[in-house]
Amino acid sequence: MRHAESFTAEPRLWLDSRTRMSSRPKLPVLVEEKILTASRRRCALCYGLTRDTSIKRGQIAHLDGDVSNNTPDNLAFLCLPHHEEYDSRSRQAKGITPAELGRYRDELYKAISTAWNKPATFTPAIRDPRDAIAGHYVRQGSQQTAEFQISHLGNGVMQVSGLAIWGSQPSTHTGSVDFVGDLRRNRLYFADRMNDRWYNLELTLDKDHLRATEVGSTGYHGTNVSFDGTYHRLSS
């Protein structure tokens, strides 16, 4: 895995060849944003099958396979492998059913709602400082929220996934970052070039808080979306 690699310059869904076909109806923006914010980019099948709650790159799946049926109850956010598996026409009779996927999605939404309404608690100190820094950091505001999930891969190499949301329905915008970087003096750095401009993100961490500082963020994420600010750490 390359260090400090950006998977996307602007927040968008990654679309497979079938999604790019002109004959496939485009998902309405407001519906797309509703599913993304409700799931917070957690895969319904990852959660339902293994309780994996990490942020994923993915797509919005139609439970009944009808791409023209864009009611929220017929949609679920899935990671790329699970979406490909679910949409495969060759899946066996024991594959995931629409009813099963719908139940996992509803369980995920309920778990997210419960977790986000809990008071913040802090993780006890851990012997290895780099393990102590790893965790889930959240920033809450009246118009915007953001979060980082940081994991220690070993030898000071950290994996970072971030999601920022601005606004509320029906006008919501999202941005994301996903990279691997070396921890240097409790700091992580990410840089990405978009056209002729550079976007830079610096994360300064301790065991309880994270400070995110952006340079050149205008136009990199969605409208008014920013990771800049101070975050508190949730319990692991």
Angle of helix 98-116 relative to helix 29-39, nearest 10 degrees, comes to: 70
Give me the mean pLDDT over the 193-214 stretch: 90
Bridge partners of 147?
A: 138, 163
User: Which has the higher per-residue pLDDT, 131 or 186?
Assistant: 186
Predicted confidence band of residue 44 (pLDDT cuts 50, 70, 90): very high
Q: Tell me, what's the pLDDT at 161?
A: 95
Predicted confidence band of residue 34 (pLDDT cuts 50, 70, 90): very high
Which of 133, 143, 222, 144 lies closest to 177, judged by CA? Answer: 222
Q: Rounded distance, CA 206 to CA 101, Å?
A: 38
**In the chain, what are the domain boundaries?**
17-116, 129-234
Q: Is the pLDDT of residue 224 over 90?
A: no
User: Which has the higher per-residue pLDDT, 9 or 53?
Assistant: 53
Q: Is the pLDDT of residue 149 over 90?
A: yes
pLDDT 10s digits, 88-128:
855 455 688 999 999 999 999 999 998 888 776 665 555 66
User: Which has the higher per-residue pLDDT, 211 or 220?
Assistant: 211
pLDDT 10s digits, 59-91:
999 999 999 999 999 999 999 999 998 988 554
Q: Tell me, what's the pLDDT at 218?
A: 81
Q: Tell me, what's the pLDDT at 168?
A: 74
Q: Which fold has domain 129-234?
A: Lipocalin (2.40.128)
CA atoms within 13 A on the CB side of 53: 13
Predicted confidence band of residue 26 (pLDDT cuts 50, 70, 90): confident
